[in-house]
Structure 1
């Protein structure tokens, strides 16, 4: 079958033709082929299926995302709930913590208040017991009674120390203990601590020694109370744990900065020692080396913990070096501030001397070797009396002669008298002075009667004073009356507290008969009620009539109203002071042509400038408070019997005013101690500074019973009790004025209040309080009172001590009055 001929489709042919044309001419339009309509339906179905698949997939994806979001939301809600629970728990814990903190603070405050209350309640009867024991000890007691009294007193003091330790630790634990920075003399502090510990050491047969590096500066600034507390604790522990041997306190200088000294203080003992394991437990509260220590030696275990906290507070560090049965060395290093004008201590002052130490004690030689070269004394040493005599006899051109021989009485023992006789028989050209240092050995009568004696434990200043005295005295003349003096020869003149100023030469009392005291009328001008009552009683005892005025204005009014024979004028008073009142009276007196009225100043100031100021104001004489009865009587007798002779002015006599040596030396530091007597001298006072060494300052007693006893003899027990009660009522007001003036500060009111308190405290025998007030007054006058609040705080502390002692004395007077009442 023949092949069927296919005819080309017309559109294909046309397309081919068009392509040809396009290919040839490129000008013929292209016609697109028609779509394949028969394929459109399957394509749409495929697309729809694909879209369905995609939509399903996306639906599943969205459903999964939604499930995940819901899961996350649920997780977030659970986390939120957990967080809310945590927040609520934290808030509850914080509330509980705050409540616990507040409860702890309240408990701590309650504990502090409880300790303070219990301390006060325990200290109050103790401070009534201890002064009473001291008063009883002044009476006539047998040996057994005195021993029992000493035991009771020691027990009371021990209990008081325990109470103080507990209270101090509670303050340290609460960070409420603050240091009070003030100036003090380091040597005085060290001597005071050793003297306090001397009795307990002697009771155990122990020696207590002090080795002070000469390079240490003595005037420093710091907290002397807390430093004394640390030393007392360490030395007390050393004595407690040492059965035999010695306890030594060493002080040396480590270095300095422009503002501070760095010192190291060591307390060495020969006691039981402390092992390395036990040392790790020291300086913790209520902890001792082991339990047996408490059983054997007692104690609370607070002492070392308090020491560490105080030393840390001072910016220092503390430690211990020891071994079992090898003794212990407790040391601490602290910085102490320098004082203004700090200079090396004990510079020069002694002539070049050559001294010979006779004795084998190496420790004594080391101490003297460290001290004497700083004072210009060359020291040599021999061990026996024979060697000493050979050295003394061999003196010549090759061997310079010795000026001093220092004998160790404990070391020489039996040969000491031989040395005493041999030195006494030396030819005059030798000119050797002999000084004995004694300790525990009994002093032979021959040496006691003819030797110069000084305790081995004497302060460096005492030793220096003895050397100065020996250098100035002729050979073999340094002979104290007894070794109990332990400082200076008996014939050395002691500085006599003569204060006075006399504007006229002493009058001859034989010129005319003296009138009876009752014929004279005196005006007493005094603003302080205690001083006023004391002066009135003194005048009553002397037989003089007196009127009183409380200020200068009232005194001038009384003087205008009626005549008086003599005025006793306080200088510092309100409204019009004594200086202004005297000037006004002198002016009116001269204008009216009246005879000169004797005006005698009565004030607690002992400075030379104050006395001159009294004279320049127109006063005629001067008495220092507390006023001595004999001196007051002499002053009144000097001025009252010859009123006619006193009518002439005495300005010409002002050039002849004599001021005593003690007034010249009454600096701001030494003016703290009130003068026990204020003599009104009609002749110039003689200085004794060149004839006797200056005695080292001694701590003033809280209460000088002798002052009150004398007042009781003069005015009676009832009046004395009244004076004491008046002082106890008046002093708090003065202290309040001091506090108010120190807070601003206002220096003039501060000085005036301190002046008044100084004199009234001295009148009732509160010498330590009077001294504290005097330091404030002197500091204000010299413009050197740097921290008034600290000085007033010391006054408050001294008043607290004085008040307890005065209350005890007052109660004694009342008891005595009740026992003698019918």
Structure 2
């Protein structure tokens, strides 16, 4: 019973609703064509505050009863319009219905209560979504003969906030005339802009008169502004992204900026009207800044009301300023003023009217269009007149320069004669000085060569006995001496090694000064490199009662490309200094990765200590040769004062420099950066303790060639101690003869020998026809250094090189390397 009651109540309510809804009569096509009469009176409207209703909802009786005569349409709501259009003719008719300027327009064609078609139009729908790509606010209507078409139109605003139903019906011809002809006209006008723009650019590149460039830029902004105002920008350029159109609104402000930029240069305010320039230039810049601020505001808010208001007042203010300027310049006799006044006056008048009446929804710019066309004609004539004035000024200036040149020519001739006399006199004196300088240079060169030769000879002569001294010390230390003897031997070893360091410092500094050191580029392992450095310094640090540690950034790649020998030399110098001048505490080597890109790494090396420190007034001089921080340093700690000087010059070869931070009594920090390439292939590391190599070289047969009896004896003792079988000869001829008498696994060859030196001996061996003899590994042992003899050594076919005095474990490692079974297999 209750269900039946509810059903009848609903039927009654629907009947009452239908009775309350206004009767809607169809609009007849024959009376309302081509916008001659509005069909707004045939429209009823329903406002959807939720914006969520679709056409299926609207067709329900509950909503049909709420359609009513349209009143004020609020932009916060979506609005549905309903209209019926009847075709009384006896043939199918096709029309275009102008809906009104709305952001979104959806038209639903309904027949017998069913939706038969759906098309889109409006400001913000993309062109590829709309039935009509041109004419943003039109929808098509196709009606059969003597038929009534029910049409439901949904409109919604998101930008302009002024929804509107302004229904007007157009035939196909009427629509074409209204839309297509307008766009063709606008495109022709755009073509005129670009022809003038390109023509002025052409004139600028031919004459380099800046006003042509400024006018071209002004025309570009005018063209873009007109595209925006006329709707071409949205309907053609941004057809599929119409939501971007409002971002172009600030181009109007930018156009004003470019206008002032052109005018200030066209009328040459800088020279003709400087008093006006100090006010107009800030005003010009204000227009440019305002364009940027408006763009930012639109990007953040997408709200048009405030920008439209601001630009309206901006245009009015600019127009007033231009009228005031025209008034102030009216009495000036500058010939270009009249072109500015005539060309601008009409445009500004039209712009003022347009600004007052401008509606961004309508976006018409007819008055401004004709004002700009008139201005282009006048300004073009003015620019040609400006070119004529500039050409005349240039001609006058050229005449003056020619006259001045003629006046100067006579003076120049006299000056030339006088100068020739002075030059002849000075040339004679310079020739005399050059002769003196050449002689001084020759003597300096001879002295440098003599110095280099002397150092080379002294190196050989000193290293030879040092080899015997250091070799004897190593032998004695390896024979388990008594404790009292051990202390004396360690003291002797320390003194001998220090003496060798002094010799090396002096020779290295000499090479750096002479520019004879060149950096290698070979792969090496940074961790293995520092491991060797650590092993060399840990014992010395422990003897001094301090700790030595190495910290390496784990992000540093292991395999790098560079000169490991010179890097070791730099680090050894700095660490040795730090240990020497640190009576207590610690010394640390820190290596950090600063940057890594494009297969290159930038490393920072730092050596820190807690030693005696350096006073601030001594921080600069410590890098000078033979200089130390205190006068008693050499006496107290030893050294030549060359270590830091050599380090500084070696880092210069790496295109780097060393820095120091120190405070007396608080320790010192030396640091520098190196940029190294990452090695393309990993380095091979053989980490074997030399003491473990003795079994590998036992019973190997070695030929020792040296003309110095002491050196020969030292080498024999070491190789015999390692269990090798050795034969000794004292000349190159004897070595070649020995090869034919016995079989050898290796040759230890001295380079400096009388009659037949080591190089010639090696070349002779390599030239032997017997492959077993010509391929015997040869290790050169010389009192010289590898830097001096490297090229000659390897050109002679020598496999390896070791400098005297040699480190016995190092020699043992080299012997093992060249006599191992792997080496023999590879050669075979």
Verify same fold: TM over 0.5. no
TM-score, normalised with respect to structure 2: 0.38
* Bigger Cα Rg: 2
TM-score, normalized by length of structure 1?
A: 0.38
